[in-house]
Structure 1
Amino acid sequence: MHLDIGNALAGIARPGVSRDSLDRLDDCVARAHERIERGVEEREFGYAALALPETTAAAEIERAVAPLADSEAVLTVGIGGSALGAATVSAALGRGDADAYVLDNVDPRRANELLAALPLSETAVHVVSRSGTTAETLANFLVVREAMADAGVDWTERTVVTTGEDGPLRALADEHGLPALDVPEGVPGRFSVLSSVGLVPAAIQGHDLDGLLAGGRAGMDALAPSLYECPAYGYGAACHALEVRGATTNVLMPYAERLEYFAEWFAQLWAESLGKDGLGQTPVRALGATDQHSQLQLYRAGRRDKHVTLVRPRERPERAIPETGIEGLSYLGGSDLGTLLDAEFEATEASLAAAGLPNVRIEIDALDAESLGRLLYDAEAACVLAGELMGVSTFTQPAVEWGKRAARGLLGGGDFEEAEAVAGKERLVIE
């Protein structure tokens, strides 16, 4: 991963970070690195995620999905970190040998439409839940299983499970002899993309798991006790410094449509990990060049509470723009869509800098397995570093657990006091 934080420096941006401030912050980064390094070595909860490129066995995943190698489609049934990582990898690397879909919400219309469109007899289903009790995931799986049975499809021959050591989903896998992989120990879901949680669909699609993990290992090898020597730490430190100075919104704007899901994944990673104790940047998802026309006005001329992270691959496929004699458009002819997109990237970057809005450039070599693995790993390392600098509990999510208990109580899944808050809602109805 290649990082440029020049447009976040004081004198260019408002808010901005001076070089002297970065030098002082670098001492904090060195101490945080020691803590992270120790946590990774001892496989402590959360920190174990940064060891996944070494502990994930690609061959084990590929063996588990081998019976599903003939699939025309792969459907991930999960939610949050149990789905977004898989969707990100599949979207970034493309179709491969199968189309990829995600059922990560319990909207009945979406479920009905998706199941009606899927070739169920040729669809592989990957069900993901650490506890095996996640309400949304299990409800959707029951719906998918019924749809397969109604279509005359033996769901047990089309399903692979990733779950914890015990729980209802593990028991179901054991009962029916389903291929079952383990959710990695000590790894929160949003940090689990470089494990079976995120890689099973990619394996069914025939993507290069070894390349993804090699990219992650390159990120591991690049960790160093200085923000000036490590792109991941440089990004995490810059984001922290900008937040302290008032940039409480982080707009992630990839200039590659295949990275649109990466922005979704990043939003959960950043929000759920760092939104603690009244702190944390709000992640906003955008897509270049599309959102230059829908959001850039706000970023340049709105509240000064944002910084923009621009992401692009350095290599792109070619698609020539045909010559035209239309007045005012002839300059486009003979160029290339990728060249145009890169020009849009650089124009947006310059536009933000001219307006004094801090922005950061992240580039990867190409949109391939190894570069994607490095990008995912570095984003996670940046998040962990930012959490260390902020002093928050990066790997917990108490607010999310509160909502889960409330929903389960409302559905009759137990006696949870959080459900009582629903009945106490203040109302002011206007019809």
Structure 2
Amino acid sequence: MITLTTENLEKIAAEHGLAAGDIEKGSALIPGYLKNIESKNQGFYKVIDDPTLIEKINSFAVNTAGKFDHFVVLGIGGSALGTIALQQGLTHLFAPSKLHVLDNIDPVIIKEIQDAIDLKRTLFIVVTKSGTTPETISQYMYFRNLCQNSDLKVSDHFLFITDPDQGLLRKIATEEGILTFEVPENVGGRFSVLTAVSLLPARLINLKIENIMAGAKNMRTAFLSENPNENLPFRLASIQYLLYNKGKTINVMMPYAQKLIRFTDWYRQLLAESIGKNGVGITPVNALGATDQHSQSQLWNDGPNDKLHIFIKVEKPAVDANIPNLHPQEESLKYLNNVSFNKLLLTEMEGTAQSLTKNDRPNIEIAIDKINEETLGGLFMLFESTTSFLGEFFGVNAFNQPGVELSKQITKKLLS
């Protein structure tokens, strides 16, 4: 269950907030916006209907069980961030993991991963739709060279997730018999979390990918609804757009759950790369509650009033514990007596929200009942579909990235 609470927008000065009914005023736009999104032939909300994808992933996972001690994902941006979000959100943060995501070309980190794995017991999952992403291809060539120098058969230790028909990796896979999974032609990298890009690595560490898809399907139902009270993605996009026009050009996503902080990294790319075009765009900032109350709260309350805060809270964490009453004689500690950690955490969130509200700083709350595969699937679909609506509001193509291509061209020229 994912819910949106917007009441604090009505409690602040009109120049910074929204009045009751402001969101509903734009509800007549929903049918046309949905038609426009459909006309762009984007598959991010359709790929979840492909039953063969889950079957192929499950079959591969069963057939490889016990063969590998390490799975190393080589990818960057949308080819890695969703996988990292799933891993952090749904696995033990401090336990050893079989899954390592190498999402940068920092040579120190590359060497540390190399030191942590046994090549003979490692599967490298190379993820790039184009097949030519320089960071990913350089990683691939480095680790392939290590395997070849160790007399390991490349097709036994590499798997490609790439374009179904074209590109360098598709060519190599065809020539050398390397197993591949597809990034659908009509799904861009930053929208690919609900494809094999992230579902395959998730399944290899025993996450329930069927439940991820179920959560995504539930949210898609809301996305396709023409009823503004049911269409949560449209409501959220409306808030972001209306407040952008009141000078709130920065969105701070702040989960009060440490296991969701890498989800905000995924969203940061999605929002920035999709909407930042033609001189418009929302700047995404991620923060962690309660940690960043102690690093950014002064700015939020007393600095420029140019931000919308999006809080995320978890109603029922997987575990909770009470704070013991060890110093009953200390009056200054009585407010903590037998309070649970989650109650303290969420009370601090409420205190932060109330403080912002009193200072006329707009803030909203997204609540989930728990962190599991279904809710994460729902959150991925919520923000992908919200972003597609934002593209319509801003009049930009949410599915291309022309500004990224120039830097790639310059990089190649400099290296040449």
Please give the TM-score of this superposition, normalised by the length of structure 2: 0.91
- 1:2–1:362 contact (8 Å) kept in structure 2: yes
Task: Find the aligned partners of 1:35 and 1:409 in 2 and give their Cα distance.
Answer: 37
Shift of 1:28: 2.4
Does 2:60 correspond to 1:64? Answer: yes
For residues 311 and 171 of structure 1, do their structure 2 counterparts lie closer, same or farther at Cα, with a shift above 3 Å needed? same
Which whole-Å deviations, capped at 9, do the CAs of 1:22-60 have from their partners, x for residues lacking one?
232222234313433x44xxxx44x32121221362111
- 2:24–2:228 contact (8 Å) kept in structure 1: no
- 1:50–1:377 contact (8 Å) kept in structure 2: yes
Q: What is residue 196 of structure 2 aligned with on the other side?
A: 196
For residues 67 and 4 of structure 1, do their structure 2 counterparts lie closer, same or farther at Cα, with a shift above 3 Å needed? same
What amino acid is the match of 2:57?
I
What amino acid is the match of 1:74?
F
For residues 62 and 350 of structure 1, do their structure 2 counterparts lie closer, same or farther at Cα, with a shift above 3 Å needed? same
- 204-213 vs 169-178, which deviates more? 169-178
Number of residue pairs the alignment of both structures matches? 406
Task: Find the aligned partners of 2:14 and 2:110 in 1 and give their Cα distance.
Answer: 46
Shift of 1:66: 3.5
Give 1:135-150 correspondences, 5 Å limit. Answer: 135-149=134-148
Shift of 1:335: 2.5
Of 70, 77, 81, which residue of structure 2 is paired with 1:73? 70
Q: What is residue 411 of structure 1 aligned with on the other side?
A: 415
- 2:23–2:235 contact (8 Å) kept in structure 1: no
Which whole-Å deviations, capped at 9, do the CAs of 1:239-275 have from their partners, x for residues lacking one?
1111111100000111111111110000000000000
Shift of 1:87: 1.3
Q: What is residue 118 of structure 1 aligned with on the other side?
A: 117
Query: Where does the alignment leave 5 or more consecutive residues of structure 1 unmatched?
Result: 413-431
What amino acid is the match of 1:140?
Q
What amino acid is the match of 1:48?
G
Does 2:93 correspond to 1:91? Answer: no
Shift of 1:20: 4.4
Q: Secondary structure of 2:139's match?
A: helix
What amino acid is the match of 1:122?
R
Does 2:293 correspond to 1:292? Answer: yes
Shift of 1:373: 0.3
Runs of 4+ in structure 1 displaced over 6 angstroms?
none
- 27-36 vs 150-159, which deviates more? 150-159
Shift of 1:12: 5.4
Task: Find the aligned partners of 2:242 and 2:98 in 1 and give their Cα distance.
Answer: 41
Task: Find the aligned partners of 2:338 and 2:32 in 1 and give their Cα distance.
Answer: 53
- 1:64–1:180 contact (8 Å) kept in structure 2: no
- 350-359 vs 260-269, which deviates more? 350-359
- 2:12–2:362 contact (8 Å) kept in structure 1: no
Shift of 1:119: 4.0
Q: What is residue 396 of structure 1 aligned with on the other side?
A: 400
For residues 372 and 177 of structure 1, do their structure 2 counterparts lie closer, same or farther at Cα, with a shift above 3 Å needed? same
What amino acid is the match of 1:139?
S
- 1:126–1:200 contact (8 Å) kept in structure 2: no
Shift of 1:151: 5.7
Does 2:51 correspond to 1:52? Answer: no
- 177-186 vs 71-80, which deviates more? 71-80
Shift of 1:90: 1.6
Give 1:32-431 correspondences, 5 Å limit. Answer: 32-36=33-37, 38-39=38-39, 44-45=40-41, 47-55=42-50, 57-70=53-66, 71-95=68-92, 98-149=97-148, 154-164=153-163, 165-223=165-223, 224-316=225-317, 317-325=319-327, 327=330, 328-412=332-416
Root mean square deviation, CA, Å: 2.1
What amino acid is the match of 2:43?
A
What amino acid is the match of 1:134?
T
- 260-269 vs 354-363, which deviates more? 354-363
Task: Find the aligned partners of 2:250 and 2:324 in 1 and give their Cα distance.
Answer: 40
For residues 168 and 31 of structure 1, do their structure 2 counterparts lie closer, same or farther at Cα, with a shift above 3 Å needed? closer
Which whole-Å deviations, capped at 9, do the CAs of 1:116-142 have from their partners, x for residues lacking one?
123443333211111111111000111
Task: Find the aligned partners of 1:172 and 1:72 in 2 and give their Cα distance.
Answer: 25
What amino acid is the match of 1:53?
I
- 1:65–1:160 contact (8 Å) kept in structure 2: no
Q: Secondary structure of 2:132's match?
A: coil
- 1:233–1:382 contact (8 Å) kept in structure 2: yes
- 1:91–1:261 contact (8 Å) kept in structure 2: yes
Which whole-Å deviations, capped at 9, do the CAs of 1:337-361 have from their partners, x for residues lacking one?
2222122222222221121110111
- 1:249–1:307 contact (8 Å) kept in structure 2: yes
Task: Find the aligned partners of 2:298 and 2:229 in 1 and give their Cα distance.
Answer: 32
Q: Matched residues, percent identical?
A: 33
- 128-137 vs 159-168, which deviates more? 159-168
Task: Find the aligned partners of 2:281 and 2:146 in 1 and give their Cα distance.
Answer: 42
Query: Where does the alignment leave 5 or more consecutive residues of structure 2 unmatched?
Result: none
Q: Secondary structure of 2:361's match?
A: coil
- 1:82–1:190 contact (8 Å) kept in structure 2: yes
